[in-house]
Chain A
């Protein structure tokens, strides 16, 4: 068990190093003068020279790399040309809102995909199964940003079921405590504002969840079919257990192990996908921040957002790996052969997980 944790920890550090190297490469391929990019378009010659010195751009590449790593390690991601504030502060301010959106999307994902996957595996080839497969097929093919615009055009603009954009209605506000509007409204003890925040959250969360629902449904269906065909299911039925108990306690419990890996990894992927969703719905968040930064040619802000999303993604994957210890007792035993098998199933789960978007 300890060696499992050590191995995953080592992998996490390696991936972090890879991420930092990739973002360093981004700073290197900047077209034109990186010092000018860092100082901003209207900077004076002195400001550009100061930026060059501060960033160590007059030094050889390997020294630049070392100083880049140490700056990142201290949380210095550069200064946004547009907001004139440290990128890390900008992102820290908007990140909670993205986390709120991701958690809401995950809630919808689980609430839809779990029943759908179980029912479609249980009633293989029947109507429910076909509709589940249709959901999986559509979810994997519909562009997220297009789904968002279409939902907005019809559900909000045409039928007025949901608000168009933003976090709260015009004129409403809550004191910022956590940065998550729903939580802040609860903390302020304001149920009507809380309802408003939820209704603003629904469409973005559905949009973000759609593609992931498809993946979870497909995975759960296939692992659930495997579980329901297993001998222990026949045994459970033979003992006279109710059908519900057989399917849920025996079938789903075992099928959930690979599915939970995927759900965990999806938390990180969803944070990446906020790039496509938040700006459509006028939400503040790290995704919208990076899109704005791209449009304003604010490259240190873009790279900072990439780095932060990457780090959260990596940490989430690490936590998921640790959760596997708790969910899958086979991992806890020290026997080498079994551990190798478990690694394979983890790799298989990540292959099953489908789109890396």
Chain B
């Protein structure tokens, strides 16, 4: 996980978080923030419509055009099989971004379940679940995910499942902290006194008011997860050749990297750009949700 655990002084739901007035550090949303939001939005759009934007067929092999440098016909050049790299980068965004989202979604669901259970389930449950989390956090994620994915048989699904299985403990610990705070809030107590059922209390009152810090954390984690998932593809346990996944594209072009730099440069830039954008957006969200971070310029 990354950076300090953001604990909002006042709880806020997702809608509240996105519509709240206020901005960065001294209260402004800066140009950089807007640019990052724009790029992050573009990347999400790319995940949805990228394959339709591709000017050429990302899988069309044309050996006569093998390793063409960037030029007017192929803006990002072609790879060893003569496939248009621009088209593959555009189409590959979907795979990389959706895989990243899938990892975070699965890890968030598991983390929320475990974290909530730990916060509300009594001392013994709490102790057991948190020790399991400690163990999970004490193992190197990429190596464990590598082993799990290799054992399940290399494929993008395996990589996603393996990484989600190593990524949830951080979320569980965060959700536990957040739920414990909300649990004792007055409005929860009032609802309890009014006779709201336990399930409804958790689902309608405690969780929605606990999780804004979790949304921030998941945004900040997009870059880290994307780097690991593309790394797993690069190593060979994720997306398989000839998939146009960014990490797998770099892996497939590693032998031509020395002679034809464009084959690896552009997919890598796509990963880096997405990661930077989501990191900046995450920081921006964090400052917005946590007023204590606004002064001091940390």
Contacts and interface: CB of A to CB of B under 8 A. Distances in A.
Contact of B272 (A142, A218, A272, A313): A142
18 contacts: A18-B138, A31-B153, A137-B276, A140-B224, A142-B272, A146-B264, A150-B268, A153-B264, A229-B296, A276-B235, A290-B146, A303-B147, A303-B151, A314-B139, A354-B224, A355-B2, A356-B137, A356-B140
Interface string B213-256: 00000000001100110110011110000000001001100100
Interface string B255-298: 00111010011011001110110011000000000000000111
Nearest to A124: B297
A166 to B, nearest CB: 14
A145 B231 contact: yes
A222 B298 contact: yes
B231 A306 contact: no
Interface stretch (A21-29, A71-79, A168-176, A196-204): A21-29
B178 to A, nearest CB: 14
Interface stretch (B55-63, B70-78, B128-136, B181-189): B128-136
B148 interface: yes
Nearest to A298: B150
Interface residues of B, number: 59
B227 A153 contact: no
A314 to B, nearest CB: 6
B1 interface: yes
Residue among A147, A348, A357 with most chain B CB within 10 A = A357
Contacts of A143: 227, 230-231, 234, 247, 250, 268, 271-272
Contact of A225 (B134, B138, B170, B296): B296
B151 A19 contact: no
A193 interface: no
Contacts of A144: 227, 231
Contacts of A351: 1-5
Contact of B254 (A140, A280, A302, A317): A280
Given A18-B139, A152-B257, A29 B151 contact: yes
Chain A residues touching B, range: 35 or more
Interface of B: 1-5, 131-132, 134-144, 146-148, 150-154, 170, 223-224, 227-228, 230-231, 234-237, 247, 250-251, 254, 257-259, 261, 264-265, 267-268, 271-273, 275-276, 279-280, 296-298
B151 A299 contact: yes
A149 B275 contact: no
A306 B143 contact: yes
Given A145-B250, A302-B147, A310-B144, A150 B264 contact: yes
Nearest to B1: A351
A268 B153 CA distance: 26
B264 to A, nearest CB: 5
Contacts of A26: 147-148, 150-151
A211 B250 CA distance: 18
A302 B141 contact: no
A141 B134 CA distance: 26
A276 B231 contact: yes
Interface in A287-329: 290-291, 293-295, 299, 302-303, 305-306, 309-310, 313-314, 317
